[in-house]
Amino acid sequence: MSSTFSSPSDPSKLPLKPLPGSYGLPFFGPIKDRLDYFYNQGRDKFFSTKIEKYKSTIFRTNMPPGPFISSDSRVIAVLDAISFQILFDTTKVEKRNIFLGTYMPSTGYTGGYRVCAYLDPSEPNHSLIKRFFISLLVSRHNTFIPLFRNTLSELFVELQDQISDKGEANLNDFCNTLAFNFVFRLFCDKNPADTKIGSKGPTMCDKWIAFHLAPLGTLGFPKLLTLLEDSLLRTLPFPSFLIKSDYKKLYDGIYTSATAALDQAERLGLKRDEACHNLLFMVCFNAYGGIKTFFPALLRWVGLAGENLHKQLADEIRTVVRHEGGVSFGALDKMTLTKSVVYEALRIEPPVPYQYGKAKEDLVLHSHDAAFQIKKGEMIFGFQPFATNDPKIFENPDEFVGHRFVGEGEKLLKYVYWSNGRETENPTAEDKQCPGKNLVVLVSRLIIVEFFLRYDTFKVEEAKELLASTINIKSLTKASSI
Ligand code: HEM
């Protein structure tokens, strides 16, 4: 796959233009934009209409939730692969309290602490906590592959039984249990079933996450009731006591199981309870929330790509596993198509679509063809699916091309941004890139490998429901050769 990209010859020569777009009247402008965003146009059309109208991928707009949950909803949207990169430069943008955008849920949801994701790297606690996470990952590196494979094997039995009994299996439920059991066992060294969390971990996390994200969601009310729905979700924040008892169960389950991790945190200089609230957020929001969103999307894209791609994946995976004598880091690294398929799913549907950053100084933003001056304190907002589907970088960006990142295509990996950084770079304690980046890529390759070691092909179907869409596996065809 060749690149269509030619870099903006010299960004300093791009014409400096007035920044298009407007915020409208106070209060009414943000409300109009959010009704367009959720109900009148829908998310993607909201952005593409403005790109068309302003003939620019950088413009001013309001972003939900707006009044009264966020006190200032004015942002400068960056919607191409070039301007988006400003968000990774923490010398230029501040990331304090903007993990979810223009509002921050009460710290009552996180034990009274501002956890790592809300901290700017200029705050000393950020690098301390992130170092804790990175050291935890390093100490568990050798467990990644065997633990993930074991957790998955147990669940595959249930998946097959469900398909035989009911003619289909809910892939979202499967991925939720897989994600929670794997990350809990990895970081807390215990099976959650053996703690007071039991089998309720995914449900408790889903509820707790939903309260954080409620101002950015919809409930699927009929059209007549959209104004009611909108004001219910976005007028006042939901108080954290509503979720207190589930949070306490998760906290106690982690506190009593993750003794080795918490000892490690104390040695680094963190207080034990602050470390535990941070570990909870990392396990239940960042890691569980991220993986449970991405796996169904990955398997849907691969499932829908059809039997030809399945055959190529099965051939590659089985040949490498035979030659290497098993599934290892080395073996996974040789699977070029499998790697590419994972990167392609992360590119076409980045699981965390929004990133924010507040300008730390006056600066110049540039897109492919123009430059704009912005002021210190202005909020920059990136909608990632537009940046990683930028037609000036990726040929046929809306198409899932399994081979896109094979061979020469690897050069395009620097435009894959799902981890809040370039795929060619690695997270550090001093930046805001996802510390789980390499783990996520690894387990995503592993789930593809395990599918095609067991099965020749599989079929998926998407079912739209009231609150979300569900992916079902309709059939699994057992491997004809290994
Ligand atoms: C598919 C799964 C995942 C996705 C899509 C994902 C994505 C992201 C993104 C986009 C950010 C940056 C958010 C921002 O500041 O704007 C982030 C931060 C973070 N992620 Fe992940 N992540 C995933 C899995 C994980 C895992 C497995 C871990 C466990 C180590 C993890 C831990 C974190 C932490 C602690 C942060 C905050 C980093 C900081 O404040 O410097 N994530 N993640």
pLDDT tens, position by position, 354-369? 999 999 999 999 999 9
Give CA separation, 377 vs 94, 358, 361, in Å.
9, 6, 7
In sequence order, what are the beta bridge partners of 62? 74
The pLDDT of residue 340 is above 70: yes
Which pLDDT score, from 0 to 100, does residue 467 have? 65
Which pLDDT score, from 0 to 100, does residue 6 have? 42
Using CA positions, which residue lies closest to atom 30 of ligand 1? 436
Distance CA 456, CA 481 (A): 9
User: In sequence order, which residues have a C-beta less than 8 Å from that of residue 149 and are 6 or more positions away?
Assistant: 327, 446, 450
Which pLDDT score, from 0 to 100, does residue 11 have? 77
Q: How many A from CA of 457 to the centre of ligand 1?
A: 31
175 is in an annotated binding site: no
Q: What is the mean pLDDT of residues 205-213?
A: 98
Q: How many A from CA of 427 to the centre of ligand 1?
A: 10
Structure-token pair, residue 57: 């991928």
Prior bond of 68 cis (ω within 30°) = yes
Q: How many A from CA of 52 to the centre of ligand 1?
A: 32
Q: How many A from CA of 80 to the centre of ligand 1?
A: 22
Judge whether 3 lies within some domain: no
Judge whether 219 lies within some domain: yes
Q: Find the residues whose C-beta lies inside 6 A of ligand 1.
A: 95, 99, 116-117, 130, 133, 137, 282, 286-287, 290-291, 294, 351-352, 355, 418-420, 432, 434-436, 439-440
Residue 114 identity (one-letter amino acid): R
The pLDDT of residue 1 is above 50: no
Nearest in space to 400 (alpha carbons), one of 355, 354, 341: 341
| Number of helical (H) and strand (E) elements in the chain, helices listed first | 16, 10
pLDDT in tens, 43-61: 999 999 999 999 999 999 9
The number of distinct structural domains making up the chain is: 1
Three-class secondary structure of residue 125 per DSSP: helix
Judge whether 2 lies within some domain: no
Using CA positions, which residue lies closest to atom 37 of ligand 1? 117
Distance CA 368, CA 325 (A): 47
Q: How much is the mean pLDDT over the chain?
A: 96
Structural domain containing residue 76: 11-478
Q: What is the mean pLDDT of residues 452-469?
A: 87
First to last CA, the chain: 30
Count the helix, strand and coil residues of the chain and give each as a percent rounded to the nearest 5: 55, 10, 35
Using CA positions, which residue lies closest to atom 43 of ligand 1? 434
Per-residue burial over 113-132, b = 16 or more CB atoms within 10 Å of its CB, e = otherwise = bbbbbbbbbeeebbbbbbbb
Cα 197 from chain centre? 25
Q: Are 400 and 349 in contact (CB under 8 A)?
A: no
Judge whether 343 lies within some domain: yes
The pLDDT of residue 152 is above 60: yes
Q: How many A from CA of 436 to the centre of ligand 1?
A: 6
Q: What is the mean pLDDT of residues 379-404?
A: 98
Judge whether 121 lies within some domain: yes
Question: The CATH number of the domain where 423 resides is what?
Answer: 1.10.630.10
Judge whether 4 lies within some domain: no
Judge whether 330 lies within some domain: yes
Task: Name the helix (H) or strand (E) containing 359.
Answer: strand 354-359
Provide the sign of the torsion angle of the four alpha carbons 165, 169, 170, 176, taken in this order: positive
Which pLDDT score, from 0 to 100, does residue 464 have? 78
pLDDT band at residue 9, thresholds of 50, 70 and 90? low
pLDDT in tens, 69-88: 999 999 999 999 999 999 99
Distance CA 39, CA 196 (A): 41
The pLDDT of residue 5 is above 50: no
Judge whether 298 lies within some domain: yes
Q: What is the mean pLDDT of residues 445-469?
A: 90
